[in-house]
A and B are shown apart, each in its own frame.
Chain A
Protein backbone atom coordinates (compact mmCIF):
# COMPACT_ATOMS: atom_id res chain seq x y z
CA UNK A 1 0.00 0.00 0.00
CA UNK A 2 3.00 2.17 0.42
CA UNK A 3 3.84 1.85 -3.25
CA UNK A 4 0.90 3.87 -4.48
CA UNK A 5 1.45 6.78 -2.11
CA UNK A 6 5.22 7.00 -2.64
CA UNK A 7 4.81 9.41 -5.53
CA UNK A 8 5.36 12.61 -3.52
CA UNK A 9 8.73 14.30 -3.78
CA UNK A 10 11.22 13.02 -1.23
CA UNK A 11 8.73 10.61 0.28
CA UNK A 12 10.80 7.49 -0.30
CA UNK A 13 13.51 7.21 2.33
CA UNK A 14 15.23 4.28 0.64
CA UNK A 15 16.12 6.06 -2.62
CA UNK A 16 17.39 9.12 -0.73
CA UNK A 17 19.76 7.06 1.39
CA UNK A 18 20.94 5.12 -1.61
CA UNK A 19 21.53 8.21 -3.67
CA UNK A 20 23.46 9.81 -0.80
CA UNK A 21 26.28 7.26 -0.93
CA UNK A 22 26.04 6.96 -4.66
CA UNK A 23 26.27 10.68 -5.09
CA UNK A 24 29.54 10.76 -3.24
CA UNK A 25 31.09 8.82 -6.10
CA UNK A 26 29.41 10.62 -8.94
CA UNK A 27 31.81 12.30 -11.33
CA UNK A 28 32.13 16.07 -11.19
CA UNK A 29 29.33 16.55 -8.69
CA UNK A 30 29.78 19.07 -5.89
CA UNK A 31 28.99 17.55 -2.50
CA UNK A 32 26.63 19.58 -0.29
CA UNK A 33 28.05 22.58 1.52
CA UNK A 34 28.26 21.01 4.99
CA UNK A 35 30.08 18.00 3.54
CA UNK A 36 32.59 20.20 1.78
CA UNK A 37 33.31 22.02 5.04
CA UNK A 38 33.57 18.71 6.89
CA UNK A 39 35.99 17.26 4.36
CA UNK A 40 38.11 20.40 4.38
CA UNK A 41 38.25 20.51 8.17
CA UNK A 42 39.07 16.82 8.39
CA UNK A 43 42.15 17.11 6.18
CA UNK A 44 43.49 19.89 8.39
CA UNK A 45 42.42 17.93 11.47
CA UNK A 46 44.30 14.88 10.25
CA UNK A 47 47.55 16.84 9.95
CA UNK A 48 47.02 18.32 13.41
CA UNK A 49 46.39 14.90 14.95
CA UNK A 50 49.52 13.43 13.37
CA UNK A 51 51.44 16.47 14.54
CA UNK A 52 50.09 16.16 18.06
CA UNK A 53 50.87 12.45 18.15
CA UNK A 54 54.44 12.91 17.00
CA UNK A 55 55.11 15.62 19.56
CA UNK A 56 53.28 14.13 22.57
CA UNK A 57 55.12 13.43 25.78
CA UNK A 58 55.73 15.54 28.86
CA UNK A 59 59.51 15.58 28.68
CA UNK A 60 61.29 16.27 25.38
CA UNK A 61 63.24 12.97 25.50
CA UNK A 62 60.01 10.93 25.33
CA UNK A 63 58.80 12.50 22.14
CA UNK A 64 58.98 10.79 18.79
CA UNK A 65 60.48 13.93 17.29
CA UNK A 66 62.72 16.31 19.19
CA UNK A 67 61.24 19.76 19.93
CA UNK A 68 64.20 21.33 18.16
CA UNK A 69 62.89 19.78 14.95
CA UNK A 70 59.15 19.86 15.51
CA UNK A 71 57.72 21.73 18.49
CA UNK A 72 54.39 20.66 19.89
CA UNK A 73 51.08 22.35 19.11
CA UNK A 74 51.08 24.11 22.48
CA UNK A 75 54.60 25.43 22.06
CA UNK A 76 53.73 26.69 18.61
CA UNK A 77 50.65 28.47 19.91
CA UNK A 78 52.67 30.06 22.69
CA UNK A 79 54.78 31.88 20.10
CA UNK A 80 51.73 33.87 19.01
CA UNK A 81 51.92 36.71 21.57
CA UNK A 82 55.62 37.10 20.97
CA UNK A 83 55.13 37.23 17.21
CA UNK A 84 52.38 39.82 17.43
CA UNK A 85 54.21 41.79 20.07
CA UNK A 86 57.93 42.31 19.89
CA UNK A 87 58.36 40.69 16.46
CA UNK A 88 55.89 42.99 14.72
CA UNK A 89 53.97 40.35 12.78
CA UNK A 90 51.28 42.75 11.63
CA UNK A 91 53.78 45.15 10.12
CA UNK A 92 55.50 42.27 8.36
CA UNK A 93 52.24 40.94 6.97
CA UNK A 94 51.43 44.41 5.69
CA UNK A 95 54.88 44.75 4.14
CA UNK A 96 54.71 41.38 2.40
CA UNK A 97 51.18 41.90 1.15
CA UNK A 98 51.99 45.36 -0.16
CA UNK A 99 54.91 43.94 -2.14
CA UNK A 100 52.78 41.11 -3.51
CA UNK A 101 49.96 43.41 -4.49
CA UNK A 102 52.32 45.82 -6.19
CA UNK A 103 54.52 43.27 -7.95
CA UNK A 104 51.82 40.78 -8.89
CA UNK A 105 49.36 43.57 -9.62
CA UNK A 106 51.82 45.07 -12.06
CA UNK A 107 52.28 41.64 -13.63
CA UNK A 108 48.51 41.35 -14.09
CA UNK A 109 48.18 44.88 -15.37
CA UNK A 110 50.69 44.18 -18.12
CA UNK A 111 50.49 40.42 -18.52
CA UNK A 112 46.71 40.08 -18.92
CA UNK A 113 46.07 42.57 -21.74
CA UNK A 114 49.18 41.64 -23.65
CA UNK A 115 48.57 37.93 -23.09
CA UNK A 116 45.02 38.25 -24.38
CA UNK A 117 46.29 40.15 -27.36
CA UNK A 118 48.78 37.36 -28.05
CA UNK A 119 45.99 34.79 -27.85
CA UNK A 120 43.91 36.73 -30.33
CA UNK A 121 46.72 37.77 -32.63
CA UNK A 122 49.09 34.86 -33.04
CA UNK A 123 52.03 36.62 -34.71
CA UNK A 124 52.47 38.54 -31.47
CA UNK A 125 52.28 35.24 -29.61
CA UNK A 126 55.01 33.81 -31.83
CA UNK A 127 57.11 36.86 -31.09
CA UNK A 128 56.69 36.48 -27.35
CA UNK A 129 56.84 32.70 -27.00
CA UNK A 130 60.63 32.37 -26.63
CA UNK A 131 60.73 35.14 -24.03
CA UNK A 132 57.84 33.64 -22.11
CA UNK A 133 59.34 30.15 -22.06
CA UNK A 134 62.62 31.60 -20.89
CA UNK A 135 60.87 33.69 -18.27
CA UNK A 136 58.89 30.80 -16.88
CA UNK A 137 61.99 28.71 -16.45
CA UNK A 138 64.31 31.38 -15.13
CA UNK A 139 65.91 30.19 -11.87
CA UNK A 140 64.63 32.25 -8.98
CA UNK A 141 68.04 31.89 -7.36
CA UNK A 142 69.53 33.85 -10.25
CA UNK A 143 66.74 36.40 -10.41
CA UNK A 144 67.29 37.65 -6.86
CA UNK A 145 70.93 38.65 -7.29
CA UNK A 146 70.18 40.04 -10.73
CA UNK A 147 67.37 42.27 -9.51
CA UNK A 148 69.56 43.33 -6.61
CA UNK A 149 72.12 44.55 -9.13
CA UNK A 150 69.52 46.25 -11.28
CA UNK A 151 67.13 47.77 -8.80
CA UNK A 152 69.12 48.18 -5.59
CA UNK A 153 68.21 46.72 -2.24
CA UNK A 154 65.01 48.46 -1.28
CA UNK A 155 61.34 48.03 -2.13
CA UNK A 156 61.74 48.56 -5.88
CA UNK A 157 63.86 45.43 -6.10
CA UNK A 158 61.28 43.31 -4.30
CA UNK A 159 58.41 44.55 -6.45
CA UNK A 160 60.37 44.20 -9.67
CA UNK A 161 61.58 40.75 -8.69
CA UNK A 162 58.02 39.65 -8.19
CA UNK A 163 56.91 41.28 -11.41
CA UNK A 164 59.61 39.58 -13.48
CA UNK A 165 59.06 36.25 -11.81
CA UNK A 166 55.29 36.16 -12.33
CA UNK A 167 54.56 38.12 -15.52
CA UNK A 168 55.47 35.23 -17.86
CA UNK A 169 52.95 32.98 -16.11
CA UNK A 170 50.25 35.64 -16.17
CA UNK A 171 50.93 36.31 -19.84
CA UNK A 172 50.72 32.71 -20.97
CA UNK A 173 47.63 32.01 -18.90
CA UNK A 174 45.84 34.94 -20.51
CA UNK A 175 47.00 33.89 -23.96
CA UNK A 176 45.79 30.32 -23.58
CA UNK A 177 42.48 31.46 -22.11
CA UNK A 178 41.80 33.37 -25.33
CA UNK A 179 43.08 30.53 -27.51
CA UNK A 180 40.68 28.14 -25.79
CA UNK A 181 37.59 30.12 -26.81
CA UNK A 182 35.62 28.35 -29.49
CA UNK A 183 36.12 29.81 -32.93
CA UNK A 184 32.33 29.79 -33.41
CA UNK A 185 32.06 32.90 -31.25
CA UNK A 186 34.47 34.73 -33.51
CA UNK A 187 32.64 33.57 -36.60
CA UNK A 188 29.29 34.59 -35.20
CA UNK A 189 30.63 38.05 -34.42
CA UNK A 190 32.13 38.31 -37.89
CA UNK A 191 28.86 37.48 -39.60
CA UNK A 192 27.27 40.20 -37.45
CA UNK A 193 29.68 42.73 -38.87
CA UNK A 194 32.08 43.12 -35.94
CA UNK A 195 35.55 44.43 -36.69
CA UNK A 196 38.59 42.53 -35.38
CA UNK A 197 39.05 45.06 -32.60
CA UNK A 198 35.37 44.85 -31.66
CA UNK A 199 35.59 41.06 -31.59
CA UNK A 200 38.58 41.27 -29.28
CA UNK A 201 37.00 43.80 -26.97
CA UNK A 202 33.42 42.56 -26.92
CA UNK A 203 33.79 38.82 -27.38
CA UNK A 204 37.23 37.31 -26.84
CA UNK A 205 38.41 39.33 -23.85
CA UNK A 206 35.20 39.07 -21.80
CA UNK A 207 34.76 35.38 -22.59
CA UNK A 208 38.35 34.67 -21.52
CA UNK A 209 38.19 36.76 -18.37
CA UNK A 210 36.66 34.15 -16.01
CA UNK A 211 39.41 31.68 -16.87
CA UNK A 212 42.06 34.37 -16.52
CA UNK A 213 40.69 35.24 -13.12
CA UNK A 214 40.80 31.61 -11.99
CA UNK A 215 44.36 31.18 -13.21
CA UNK A 216 45.52 34.33 -11.47
CA UNK A 217 43.93 33.27 -8.22
CA UNK A 218 46.34 30.37 -8.33
CA UNK A 219 49.27 32.42 -9.51
CA UNK A 220 48.71 34.70 -6.55
CA UNK A 221 49.83 31.79 -4.37
CA UNK A 222 52.99 31.52 -6.42
CA UNK A 223 53.64 35.23 -6.00
CA UNK A 224 53.00 35.02 -2.27
CA UNK A 225 55.57 32.23 -2.01
CA UNK A 226 58.11 34.09 -4.13
CA UNK A 227 57.99 37.27 -2.10
CA UNK A 228 59.30 35.49 0.96
CA UNK A 229 62.30 34.40 -1.02
CA UNK A 230 63.00 37.98 -1.93
CA UNK A 231 62.63 38.99 1.69
CA UNK A 232 65.44 36.70 2.75
CA UNK A 233 67.83 39.30 1.42
CA UNK A 234 68.10 42.80 2.81
CA UNK A 235 64.63 43.15 4.19
CA UNK A 236 63.75 44.92 7.38
CA UNK A 237 60.19 43.70 7.47
CA UNK A 238 58.17 40.96 5.85
CA UNK A 239 57.15 37.39 6.50
CA UNK A 240 60.21 35.98 4.78
CA UNK A 241 62.42 38.17 6.94
CA UNK A 242 60.64 36.96 10.08
CA UNK A 243 61.11 33.36 9.08
CA UNK A 244 64.79 33.92 8.48
CA UNK A 245 65.31 35.56 11.87
CA UNK A 246 63.44 32.71 13.52
CA UNK A 247 65.73 30.24 11.85
CA UNK A 248 68.79 32.15 13.01
CA UNK A 249 67.45 32.14 16.57
CA UNK A 250 66.47 28.48 16.14
CA UNK A 251 62.84 29.01 17.02
CA UNK A 252 61.02 26.42 14.87
CA UNK A 253 57.75 27.16 16.66
CA UNK A 254 57.85 30.70 15.28
CA UNK A 255 58.40 29.42 11.78
CA UNK A 256 55.48 27.00 12.07
CA UNK A 257 53.22 29.68 13.48
CA UNK A 258 54.11 32.04 10.65
CA UNK A 259 53.37 29.28 8.15
CA UNK A 260 49.97 28.71 9.72
CA UNK A 261 49.24 32.41 9.52
CA UNK A 262 50.36 32.50 5.91
CA UNK A 263 48.02 29.62 5.18
CA UNK A 264 45.10 31.39 6.81
CA UNK A 265 45.93 34.61 5.02
CA UNK A 266 46.14 32.87 1.65
CA UNK A 267 42.84 31.13 2.29
CA UNK A 268 41.19 34.41 3.22
CA UNK A 269 42.51 36.15 0.13
CA UNK A 270 41.45 33.30 -2.12
CA UNK A 271 37.95 33.33 -0.68
CA UNK A 272 37.73 37.07 -1.20
CA UNK A 273 38.85 36.72 -4.80
CA UNK A 274 36.36 33.91 -5.36
CA UNK A 275 33.61 36.10 -3.98
CA UNK A 276 34.57 38.87 -6.40
CA UNK A 277 34.70 36.35 -9.20
CA UNK A 278 31.14 35.21 -8.64
CA UNK A 279 29.94 38.79 -8.61
CA UNK A 280 31.91 39.73 -11.70
CA UNK A 281 30.86 36.78 -13.83
CA UNK A 282 27.21 36.02 -13.10
CA UNK A 283 27.02 34.10 -16.37
CA UNK A 284 29.39 31.42 -15.16
CA UNK A 285 27.44 29.36 -12.69
CA UNK A 286 30.26 26.83 -12.54
CA UNK A 287 32.79 29.08 -10.83
Chain B
Protein backbone atom coordinates (compact mmCIF):
# COMPACT_ATOMS: atom_id res chain seq x y z
CA UNK B 1 0.00 0.00 0.00
CA UNK B 2 2.82 2.40 0.62
CA UNK B 3 4.13 1.47 -2.82
CA UNK B 4 1.42 3.37 -4.64
CA UNK B 5 2.50 6.57 -2.93
CA UNK B 6 5.51 7.96 -4.73
CA UNK B 7 7.70 9.45 -2.03
CA UNK B 8 11.33 9.20 -3.10
CA UNK B 9 12.62 10.97 0.00
CA UNK B 10 11.13 8.25 2.16
CA UNK B 11 12.68 5.28 0.37
CA UNK B 12 15.02 3.30 2.60
CA UNK B 13 18.70 3.93 1.89
CA UNK B 14 20.26 1.29 -0.34
CA UNK B 15 23.70 1.16 1.19
CA UNK B 16 24.74 -2.23 2.58
CA UNK B 17 25.21 -1.04 6.13
CA UNK B 18 21.62 0.10 6.37
CA UNK B 19 20.42 -3.14 4.84
CA UNK B 20 22.39 -5.08 7.38
CA UNK B 21 20.92 -3.01 10.18
CA UNK B 22 17.46 -3.64 8.84
CA UNK B 23 18.10 -7.36 8.67
CA UNK B 24 19.28 -7.32 12.24
CA UNK B 25 16.15 -5.50 13.27
CA UNK B 26 13.98 -8.03 11.50
CA UNK B 27 15.55 -10.92 13.36
CA UNK B 28 15.24 -9.15 16.65
CA UNK B 29 11.63 -8.49 15.90
CA UNK B 30 10.95 -12.10 15.01
CA UNK B 31 12.51 -13.23 18.24
CA UNK B 32 10.61 -10.69 20.26
CA UNK B 33 7.41 -11.69 18.60
CA UNK B 34 8.07 -15.34 19.28
CA UNK B 35 8.56 -14.61 22.92
CA UNK B 36 5.49 -12.42 23.05
CA UNK B 37 3.44 -15.15 21.43
CA UNK B 38 4.68 -17.78 23.81
CA UNK B 39 4.00 -15.60 26.81
CA UNK B 40 0.59 -14.69 25.59
CA UNK B 41 -0.24 -18.33 25.21
CA UNK B 42 0.96 -19.06 28.68
CA UNK B 43 -1.06 -16.15 29.98
CA UNK B 44 -4.17 -17.34 28.22
CA UNK B 45 -3.82 -20.71 29.88
CA UNK B 46 -3.34 -19.14 33.29
CA UNK B 47 -6.14 -17.95 35.50
CA UNK B 48 -5.91 -14.20 36.03
CA UNK B 49 -4.80 -14.50 39.67
CA UNK B 50 -1.56 -16.06 38.62
CA UNK B 51 -0.92 -13.43 36.02
CA UNK B 52 -1.37 -10.85 38.70
CA UNK B 53 1.12 -12.58 40.90
CA UNK B 54 3.81 -12.08 38.29
CA UNK B 55 6.43 -9.40 38.81
CA UNK B 56 4.92 -5.91 38.62
CA UNK B 57 6.79 -4.95 35.50
CA UNK B 58 7.39 -7.54 32.84
CA UNK B 59 9.22 -6.56 29.74
CA UNK B 60 8.31 -8.48 26.68
CA UNK B 61 10.05 -6.44 24.05
CA UNK B 62 13.58 -7.53 24.94
CA UNK B 63 15.03 -9.97 22.43
CA UNK B 64 15.26 -13.51 23.79
CA UNK B 65 17.43 -16.37 22.72
CA UNK B 66 14.57 -18.69 21.93
CA UNK B 67 14.01 -20.58 18.74
CA UNK B 68 11.38 -19.14 16.36
CA UNK B 69 7.79 -19.75 17.31
CA UNK B 70 5.72 -22.50 15.78
CA UNK B 71 3.23 -21.47 13.08
CA UNK B 72 0.17 -19.97 14.81
CA UNK B 73 -2.71 -17.74 13.87
CA UNK B 74 -1.51 -14.40 12.56
CA UNK B 75 -1.47 -11.71 15.22
CA UNK B 76 -4.60 -9.57 15.53
CA UNK B 77 -2.57 -6.46 14.90
CA UNK B 78 1.02 -6.24 13.78
CA UNK B 79 3.13 -3.19 13.02
CA UNK B 80 6.22 -3.94 10.98
CA UNK B 81 8.79 -1.17 11.03
CA UNK B 82 6.13 1.44 10.57
CA UNK B 83 7.25 5.00 10.02
CA UNK B 84 4.83 7.82 9.37
CA UNK B 85 6.12 11.08 7.96
CA UNK B 86 3.74 13.97 7.33
CA UNK B 87 4.57 16.22 4.41
CA UNK B 88 7.81 16.11 2.53
CA UNK B 89 10.85 18.20 1.83
CA UNK B 90 12.11 20.49 4.59
CA UNK B 91 8.67 20.58 6.21
CA UNK B 92 8.53 16.81 6.64
CA UNK B 93 7.66 15.70 10.15
CA UNK B 94 8.11 12.17 11.38
CA UNK B 95 5.35 11.36 13.86
CA UNK B 96 6.23 7.73 14.52
CA UNK B 97 9.43 6.02 13.62
CA UNK B 98 10.19 2.39 13.03
CA UNK B 99 7.38 1.10 15.21
CA UNK B 100 7.23 -2.66 15.53
CA UNK B 101 4.92 -4.65 17.74
CA UNK B 102 2.31 -7.33 17.50
CA UNK B 103 -0.71 -8.30 19.48
CA UNK B 104 -1.23 -12.06 19.46
CA UNK B 105 -4.53 -13.67 18.71
CA UNK B 106 -5.70 -15.39 21.86
CA UNK B 107 -8.60 -17.64 20.88
CA UNK B 108 -11.83 -16.76 22.63
CA UNK B 109 -10.41 -13.70 24.32
CA UNK B 110 -9.10 -10.35 23.24
CA UNK B 111 -6.47 -8.29 24.89
CA UNK B 112 -6.99 -4.88 26.39
CA UNK B 113 -4.05 -2.75 25.43
CA UNK B 114 -3.62 0.73 26.81
CA UNK B 115 -1.36 3.16 25.01
CA UNK B 116 0.40 5.80 27.08
CA UNK B 117 2.77 8.51 26.00
CA UNK B 118 3.37 12.22 26.03
CA UNK B 119 1.16 14.52 23.99
CA UNK B 120 2.04 14.52 20.32
CA UNK B 121 3.99 11.27 20.43
CA UNK B 122 1.82 9.56 17.86
CA UNK B 123 -0.78 7.63 19.83
CA UNK B 124 -3.62 8.80 17.64
CA UNK B 125 -1.47 8.13 14.62
CA UNK B 126 -1.08 4.49 15.68
CA UNK B 127 -4.80 4.06 16.23
CA UNK B 128 -5.74 5.71 12.97
CA UNK B 129 -3.24 3.55 11.11
CA UNK B 130 -4.99 0.48 12.46
CA UNK B 131 -8.38 1.97 11.60
CA UNK B 132 -7.15 2.80 8.10
CA UNK B 133 -8.08 6.48 8.35
CA UNK B 134 -6.21 9.13 6.41
CA UNK B 135 -3.98 11.08 6.35
CA UNK B 136 -2.26 8.74 8.83
CA UNK B 137 -3.07 5.79 6.60
CA UNK B 138 -1.15 4.58 4.63
CA UNK B 139 2.16 4.47 6.51
CA UNK B 140 5.15 6.05 4.81
CA UNK B 141 7.33 3.00 5.40
CA UNK B 142 6.43 -0.42 6.75
CA UNK B 143 3.24 -2.37 7.07
CA UNK B 144 0.23 -2.43 9.34
CA UNK B 145 -1.34 -5.88 9.42
CA UNK B 146 -4.69 -6.82 10.87
CA UNK B 147 -5.15 -10.56 11.19
CA UNK B 148 -2.28 -11.03 8.78
CA UNK B 149 -3.65 -8.81 6.04
CA UNK B 150 -2.47 -5.28 5.32
CA UNK B 151 -4.95 -2.56 6.22
CA UNK B 152 -6.43 -0.98 3.12
CA UNK B 153 -9.00 1.35 4.63
CA UNK B 154 -11.58 1.73 7.37
CA UNK B 155 -14.09 -1.02 8.09
CA UNK B 156 -16.64 -2.15 10.63
CA UNK B 157 -14.30 -4.87 11.89
CA UNK B 158 -12.28 -2.11 13.54
CA UNK B 159 -14.67 0.06 15.51
CA UNK B 160 -13.43 3.40 16.75
CA UNK B 161 -14.58 5.66 19.58
CA UNK B 162 -13.30 9.22 19.44
CA UNK B 163 -13.11 11.85 22.13
CA UNK B 164 -15.04 14.59 20.35
CA UNK B 165 -17.78 15.01 17.75
CA UNK B 166 -18.90 11.58 18.80
CA UNK B 167 -22.58 11.51 17.94
CA UNK B 168 -24.49 12.12 14.76
CA UNK B 169 -26.34 15.21 15.92
CA UNK B 170 -29.27 14.75 13.57
CA UNK B 171 -30.18 11.29 14.84
CA UNK B 172 -31.84 10.21 18.04
CA UNK B 173 -29.90 8.06 20.46
CA UNK B 174 -31.50 4.87 19.16
CA UNK B 175 -30.78 5.77 15.55
CA UNK B 176 -27.22 6.63 16.46
CA UNK B 177 -26.74 3.25 18.10
CA UNK B 178 -28.44 1.43 15.22
CA UNK B 179 -26.48 3.32 12.55
CA UNK B 180 -24.06 0.52 11.72
CA UNK B 181 -26.86 -2.04 11.53
CA UNK B 182 -28.84 0.25 9.23
CA UNK B 183 -25.81 0.45 6.95
CA UNK B 184 -25.74 -3.34 6.88
CA UNK B 185 -29.36 -3.39 5.82
CA UNK B 186 -30.82 -4.79 9.04
CA UNK B 187 -34.55 -4.13 9.17
CA UNK B 188 -35.90 -1.30 11.27
CA UNK B 189 -37.65 -3.39 13.88
CA UNK B 190 -34.74 -5.67 14.52
CA UNK B 191 -32.10 -2.97 14.60
CA UNK B 192 -34.08 -0.86 17.05
CA UNK B 193 -34.55 -3.90 19.25
CA UNK B 194 -30.81 -4.47 19.30
CA UNK B 195 -30.16 -0.78 19.80
CA UNK B 196 -32.41 -0.75 22.86
CA UNK B 197 -30.56 -3.75 24.21
CA UNK B 198 -27.26 -1.93 23.88
CA UNK B 199 -28.57 1.38 25.17
CA UNK B 200 -29.48 -0.53 28.29
CA UNK B 201 -26.13 -2.28 28.41
CA UNK B 202 -24.10 0.92 28.40
CA UNK B 203 -26.14 2.21 31.31
CA UNK B 204 -28.61 4.52 29.59
CA UNK B 205 -32.35 4.30 30.02
CA UNK B 206 -34.29 3.05 27.02
CA UNK B 207 -37.46 4.76 28.20
CA UNK B 208 -35.85 8.10 28.92
CA UNK B 209 -32.98 8.49 26.52
CA UNK B 210 -33.65 6.43 23.40
CA UNK B 211 -35.61 9.14 21.61
CA UNK B 212 -33.46 12.05 22.73
CA UNK B 213 -31.12 13.96 20.48
CA UNK B 214 -27.42 14.13 21.38
CA UNK B 215 -27.59 17.81 22.35
CA UNK B 216 -29.93 16.81 25.17
CA UNK B 217 -27.31 14.48 26.69
CA UNK B 218 -24.30 15.09 28.89
CA UNK B 219 -20.80 14.40 27.62
CA UNK B 220 -20.63 11.12 29.49
CA UNK B 221 -23.97 9.96 28.12
CA UNK B 222 -22.89 10.85 24.60
CA UNK B 223 -19.76 8.79 25.09
CA UNK B 224 -21.95 5.87 26.19
CA UNK B 225 -23.93 6.25 22.98
CA UNK B 226 -20.71 6.16 20.98
CA UNK B 227 -19.59 3.02 22.77
CA UNK B 228 -22.93 1.28 22.24
CA UNK B 229 -22.89 2.26 18.57
CA UNK B 230 -19.48 0.66 18.14
CA UNK B 231 -20.03 -2.46 20.23
CA UNK B 232 -23.39 -3.33 18.67
CA UNK B 233 -21.45 -4.35 15.55
CA UNK B 234 -19.25 -6.74 17.60
CA UNK B 235 -15.99 -5.59 16.03
CA UNK B 236 -12.92 -7.78 16.36
CA UNK B 237 -10.86 -4.71 17.24
CA UNK B 238 -12.00 -1.67 19.18
CA UNK B 239 -9.95 1.50 18.97
CA UNK B 240 -10.57 4.14 21.58
CA UNK B 241 -8.78 7.48 21.41
CA UNK B 242 -9.00 9.15 24.80
CA UNK B 243 -12.72 8.42 24.96
CA UNK B 244 -13.02 9.50 28.59
CA UNK B 245 -10.57 12.37 28.32
CA UNK B 246 -13.21 15.06 28.76
CA UNK B 247 -15.07 13.48 31.66
CA UNK B 248 -14.87 14.24 35.36
CA UNK B 249 -13.12 11.65 37.56
CA UNK B 250 -16.20 9.96 38.99
CA UNK B 251 -18.04 9.72 35.66
CA UNK B 252 -14.81 8.45 34.26
CA UNK B 253 -14.64 5.63 36.78
CA UNK B 254 -18.24 4.66 36.12
CA UNK B 255 -17.44 4.53 32.44
CA UNK B 256 -14.38 2.41 33.13
CA UNK B 257 -16.43 -0.08 35.12
CA UNK B 258 -19.03 -0.20 32.41
CA UNK B 259 -16.41 -0.71 29.72
CA UNK B 260 -14.75 -3.55 31.64
CA UNK B 261 -18.08 -5.31 32.06
CA UNK B 262 -18.95 -4.93 28.39
CA UNK B 263 -15.57 -5.97 27.14
CA UNK B 264 -15.62 -9.23 29.14
CA UNK B 265 -18.29 -10.76 26.90
CA UNK B 266 -16.96 -9.36 23.66
CA UNK B 267 -13.74 -11.21 22.88
CA UNK B 268 -12.44 -8.12 21.18
CA UNK B 269 -8.97 -6.68 21.21
CA UNK B 270 -9.05 -3.14 22.51
CA UNK B 271 -6.55 -0.36 21.92
CA UNK B 272 -7.21 2.35 24.43
CA UNK B 273 -5.28 5.60 24.29
CA UNK B 274 -5.23 7.58 27.50
CA UNK B 275 -3.22 10.20 29.34
CA UNK B 276 -4.11 8.73 32.70
CA UNK B 277 -1.72 6.12 34.02
CA UNK B 278 -4.36 5.03 36.54
CA UNK B 279 -6.83 4.42 33.76
CA UNK B 280 -4.26 2.50 31.75
CA UNK B 281 -3.24 0.28 34.66
CA UNK B 282 -6.83 -0.33 35.68
CA UNK B 283 -8.25 -1.18 32.29
CA UNK B 284 -5.32 -2.77 30.55
CA UNK B 285 -3.90 -6.23 30.28
CA UNK B 286 -0.88 -4.57 28.82
CA UNK B 287 0.34 -1.02 28.67
CA UNK B 288 2.30 0.21 25.66
CA UNK B 289 4.48 3.19 26.37
CA UNK B 290 5.42 5.38 23.45
CA UNK B 291 8.23 7.90 23.51
CA UNK B 292 7.84 11.53 22.52
CA UNK B 293 8.14 12.34 18.86
CA UNK B 294 9.14 10.70 16.73
CA UNK B 295 7.17 8.05 18.56
CA UNK B 296 8.66 4.63 19.10
CA UNK B 297 7.52 1.84 21.33
CA UNK B 298 9.57 2.24 24.49
CA UNK B 299 8.18 -0.64 26.47
CA UNK B 300 5.30 -3.05 26.91
CA UNK B 301 4.29 -3.65 30.49
CA UNK B 302 1.93 -6.32 31.70
CA UNK B 303 -0.49 -5.20 34.37
CA UNK B 304 -3.14 -7.00 36.42
CA UNK B 305 -6.57 -7.08 34.81
CA UNK B 306 -9.39 -5.23 36.56
CA UNK B 307 -11.02 -7.51 39.13
CA UNK B 308 -12.88 -4.94 41.21
CA UNK B 309 -14.79 -1.74 40.59
CA UNK B 310 -12.51 1.13 39.56
CA UNK B 311 -13.22 3.08 42.74
CA UNK B 312 -12.02 0.23 44.96
CA UNK B 313 -9.15 -1.05 42.88
CA UNK B 314 -7.62 2.31 42.14
CA UNK B 315 -7.15 2.87 45.90
CA UNK B 316 -5.37 -0.42 46.46
CA UNK B 317 -1.68 0.10 47.40
CA UNK B 318 -0.70 -2.73 45.11
CA UNK B 319 -2.43 -0.99 42.23
CA UNK B 320 -0.73 2.28 43.07
CA UNK B 321 2.57 0.43 43.05
CA UNK B 322 2.03 -0.29 39.38
CA UNK B 323 1.07 3.28 38.68
CA UNK B 324 4.17 4.70 40.32
CA UNK B 325 6.28 2.06 38.68
CA UNK B 326 5.05 3.05 35.27
CA UNK B 327 5.42 6.73 36.03
CA UNK B 328 9.03 6.12 37.02
CA UNK B 329 9.61 3.97 33.99
CA UNK B 330 8.31 6.68 31.67
CA UNK B 331 10.45 9.30 33.33
CA UNK B 332 13.59 7.20 33.26
CA UNK B 333 13.06 6.16 29.67
CA UNK B 334 12.35 9.71 28.55
CA UNK B 335 15.39 11.00 30.40
CA UNK B 336 17.72 8.40 28.95
CA UNK B 337 16.29 8.92 25.50
CA UNK B 338 16.82 12.66 25.73
CA UNK B 339 20.37 12.08 26.93
CA UNK B 340 20.93 9.73 24.01
CA UNK B 341 19.60 12.30 21.58
CA UNK B 342 21.95 15.09 22.60
Cβ–Cβ contact A192 & B183, under 8 A: yes
Given contacts A206-B170, A207-B170, A285-B215, contact A192 B179 (CB under 8 A): yes
Residue A21 is within 8 A (CB to CB) of chain B in the complex: no
Bound CA span A189–B171, Å: 13
Least CB distance from B31 to A in Å reads 34
Complex Cα distance A194/B182, Å?
Answer: 9
- The CA of A191 and the CA of B161, in the complex, are separated in Å by 9
CB pair A203–B165 under 8 Å, yes or no, is no
* Complex: chain B residue closest to A187, CB-CB: B133
- Bound-state CA distance A283–B175 (Å) is 13
A202 touches B179 (CB 8 A): yes
Task: Indicate whether A195 sits within 8 Å of B183 (C-beta atoms), given known contacts A184-B165, A188-B166, A282-B213.
Answer: yes
Q: A185 within 8 Å of B by Cβ?
A: yes
Which residues on the A side are within 8 Å of B133 (C-beta)? 187, 190-191
Q: Which residues of B contact A7 (CB under 8 A)?
A: none
Q: B66 CB to closest chain A CB, in angstroms? A: 37
Interface SS of A by simple majority: helix
- Chain A residues with CB under 8 Å of B171's CB are 283
| Bound Cα distance A47, B122 (Å) | 61
- With a cutoff of 8 Å between Cβ atoms, the chain B residues found around residue A285 in the complex are 215
Q: Could you tell me the distance in whole angstroms from the C-beta of B260 to the nearest C-beta in chain A?
A: 22
Q: How far is the CB of A193 from chain B (nearest CB, A)?
A: 3
Is A191 a contact of B215 with CB atoms below 8 Å? no
Which of A198, A207, A281 makes the CB contact (< 8 A) with B168? Answer: A207
Closest to A205 in B: B170
Tell me if A248 is interfacial: C-beta within 8 Å of chain B.
no
Residues of A within 8 A of B (CB): 182, 184-185, 187-195, 198, 202-203, 206-207, 209, 281-285
Further contacts, 16 of them, CB under 8 A, given A193-B180, A203-B168, A281-B170: A184-B165, A187-B133, A187-B154, A189-B179, A191-B155, A191-B156, A191-B160, A192-B179, A192-B233, A193-B184, A198-B183, A202-B183, A207-B170, A283-B213, A283-B215, A284-B169
- Chain B positions within 8 Å of A, measured between CB atoms, are 131, 133, 153-156, 158-160, 162, 164-166, 168-171, 179-180, 182-184, 213-215, 226, 229-230, 233, 239
By Cβ-Cβ distance, the 3 closest A-B pairs, closest first, are A193-B156, A184-B165, A192-B180
